């Protein structure tokens, strides 16, 4: 008689399924467990996610020659000196990201340079995550569940005293 599956195979199969489920739902679990923070006042280079691309005079920003603008089926990526803007075909801004320490994120005109600045203004409802282990970067992530936006503030994890923000990323989720 042919044995269909041994008990050991079933246990290994279940362990693999649980591991894969945990891996793929980790971000969702983080978003659900962190309390919401109002991010509507956040901006990158004085541009907020709530704005429409048609309402922004992009000619005041200098193009970044290190990156080529690109268009996909769903979005257009425009690179400027110190920041990136991604928007949909209807003009909805989906993502804003600083590309250097000279780009800036702000809350009602107050510029963020250090993690402590952010924590003092936005509070303690954030997740601290690994961002890029190869570059030794971590990020604190705030979620605005009402407006379905998140803000990531990337910093070098080895610098404990001077936690300067390397990049700021605002995006819809």
Q: What pTM does this model have?
A: 0.79
pLDDT greater at residue 130 or residue 2:
130
CA 124 to chain centre: 17
pLDDT at 1: 41
Does the pLDDT at position 168 exceed 70? Answer: yes
Question: Hey, where are the domains in the chain?
Answer: 1-33, 36-172
pLDDT at 95: 97
Q: What is the DSSP letter of 95?
A: E
pLDDT at 79: 97
Name residue, tokens 């990020």: 139
- Nearest-angstrom CA–CA distance, 104 and 65: 19
């Amino acid at each position: 008689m042919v044995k269909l599956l041994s008990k050991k195979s079933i246990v290994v199969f279940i362990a693999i399924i649980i591991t894969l489920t945990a891996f793929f739902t980790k971000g969702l679990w983080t978003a659900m467990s962190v309390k919401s923070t109002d991010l509507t006042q956040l901006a990158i280079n004085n541009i907020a996610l709530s704005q429409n691309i048609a309402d922004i005079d992009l000619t005041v920003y200098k193009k970044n020659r290190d990156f080529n603008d690109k268009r996909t089926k769903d979005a257009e990526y425009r690179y400027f000196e110190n920041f990136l803007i991604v928007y949909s075909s209807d003009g909805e801004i989906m993502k804003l990201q600083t590309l250097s320490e000279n780009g800036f994120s702000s809350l009602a005109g107050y510029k963020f340079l250090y993690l402590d600045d952010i924590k003092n203004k936005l509070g303690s409802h954030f997740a601290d995550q690994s961002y890029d282990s190869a570059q030794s970067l971590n990020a604190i992530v705030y979620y605005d569940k009402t407006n379905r936006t998140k803000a990531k503030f990337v910093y070098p994890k080895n610098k404990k005293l001077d936690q300067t923000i390397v990049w700021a990323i605002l995006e819809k989720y």
